[in-house]
Structure 1
Amino acid sequence: MEITENAALVVVDVQKGFEEADFWGPRNNLGADDNIAALIDVWQSTGRPVVFVRHDSSKPRSPLRLGYEGNDLKEYVQERRGKGAGSELFVTKTVNSAFLGTPDLGAWLTAEGISQVVVAGIQTNMCVETTARMGGNLGYDVVVPYDATYTFDVVGPFGWRRGADEVAQASAVSLHGGGFARVVTTREVVEAAG
């Protein structure tokens, strides 16, 4: 796998509010935060660009709502902001896709001459998947390190319940099988980028 010299790492919604298990329910992939941190470290040490994304929920009870501590980025992410040798962008959004946030991610990527994006963060099947799908639709070479994402159990139509692992795997199959992104491991990305 090739990770280009100016590939952007897009770190999606790694926020304190996702630690509130009573709100979200059971999650998968307890090693995701370590993998996200490893990706940020490699990107910053190699001078590649990093995009930090924060979800500002408009729902009054959401742990990700503005003005609530859960809206803040997790400490390990916040501590890394501004530490890299490469360019950095901070995007806020109120919908699933980082491409529909402020400032305009697509415009920034174009201005920076970036054609490859690596998308990691929370939740696998929500904002990570939507950002990856849109990136693929917009013509970017999208890579998703699956084990640098996580999600939660979910209830769908007809009372269907799916565990977090099932939901994440379905998301990965849809992204990879549908040609939106290459779904790989953090190790593969780190080795290619290091």
Structure 2
Amino acid sequence: MEIAENAALVVVDVQKGFEEEGFWGARNNPGADDNIASLIDAWQETGRPVVFVRHDSRKPQSPLRPGYAGNGFKEYVERRRGKGVGAELLVTKSVNSAFYGEPDLDAWLKGAGVAQFVVVGIQTNMCVETTARMGGNLGYEVIVPLDATHTFDLEGPFGWRRSAQELAEATAVSLHGGGFAKVVTTRELVDRP
């Protein structure tokens, strides 16, 4: 697997509000934050572009709503913003896909000649998956290090309930098997010569 010299890292919704377990429920992958941090560090050290995406929820009770402390990035992300030598962008959105945010992510990537991006963050089966799918549809080569994402247990129709781990695995199968993205591990991206 080749990582382009200008491959972007898209860090999706790594916000304090996702720490509110009472709102979201049980999560998977407790190592996700360490993996996200190591990928940001690796991208910044190599001068590659990093995109930080923040979800500004329109729901008044959401821990991600603007004006609420949970809307802010987790501390380890905030400490890294502005520290790289490569290009950096902040995208804000109120829907699942980072491609429907402000400023226009697709235009920014294309303007920089970026054809490949890595997407990490929260939630695996929501904003990470939607951003990866749209990226694939738009013609980008998308890479998802699954262990640099996490999600929460969820109930759907017919009383069906899936654990966070089951949802993450289903996302990986859909993205990788469906040709939207290549699903890898953080180590495959960080431990490169």
TM-score (norm 2): 0.99
1:182 Cα offset (Å): 0.1
Tell me which residue corresponds to 2:88: 88
Query: Any idea what the Cα deviations from partners look like across 1:77-135, whole Å, max 9, x if unmatched?
Result: 00000000100000000000000000000000011000000000000000000000000
Tell me which residue corresponds to 1:175: 175
Aligned-partner Cα distance in 1 for 2:170–2:50: 27
Partner SS state of residue 103, structure 2:
coil
Question: Is 1:8 matched up with 2:16?
Answer: no
Query: Any idea what the Cα deviations from partners look like across 1:132-181, whole Å, max 9, x if unmatched?
Result: 00000000000000000000000000000000000110011000000000
Tell me which residue corresponds to 2:49: 49
Question: Is 1:78 matched up with 2:78?
Answer: yes
Letter in 2 for 1:164: A
Letter in 1 for 2:59: K
Tell me which residue corresponds to 1:137: 137
TM-score (norm 1): 0.99
Unaligned runs of 5+ in 1: none
Following TM superposition, the consecutive aligned residue runs of length 4 or more in structure 1 with deviations greater than 2 angstroms are none
1:191 Cα offset (Å): 2.2
Aligned-partner Cα distance in 1 for 2:190–2:2: 11
1:189 Cα offset (Å): 1.0
RMSD: 0.6
Partner SS state of residue 9, structure 1:
strand
Aligned-partner Cα distance in 1 for 2:144–2:108: 20
Aligned-partner Cα distance in 1 for 2:169–2:189: 19
Partner SS state of residue 11, structure 1:
strand
Aligned-partner Cα distance in 2 for 1:164–1:121: 14
Question: Is 1:146 matched up with 2:164?
Answer: no
Aligned-partner Cα distance in 1 for 2:165–2:110: 35
Aligned-partner Cα distance in 2 for 1:99–1:2: 24
1:10 Cα offset (Å): 0.0
Tell me which residue corresponds to 1:165: 165
Tell me which residue corresponds to 1:116: 116
Tell me which residue corresponds to 2:156: 156
Aligned-partner Cα distance in 1 for 2:191–2:106: 27
Aligned-partner Cα distance in 1 for 2:117–2:191: 16
Letter in 2 for 1:99: F
Larger deviation: 137-146 or 183-192? 183-192
Tell me which residue corresponds to 2:107: 107
Aligned-partner Cα distance in 1 for 2:106–2:39: 21
Partner SS state of residue 79, structure 1:
helix
Aligned-partner Cα distance in 1 for 2:25–2:119: 24
Aligned-partner Cα distance in 2 for 1:93–1:57: 8
Partner SS state of residue 166, structure 1:
helix
Partner SS state of residue 4, structure 2:
coil
Query: Any idea what the Cα deviations from partners look like across 1:15-71, whole Å, max 9, x if unmatched?
Result: 000000000000000000000000000000000000000000000000000100000
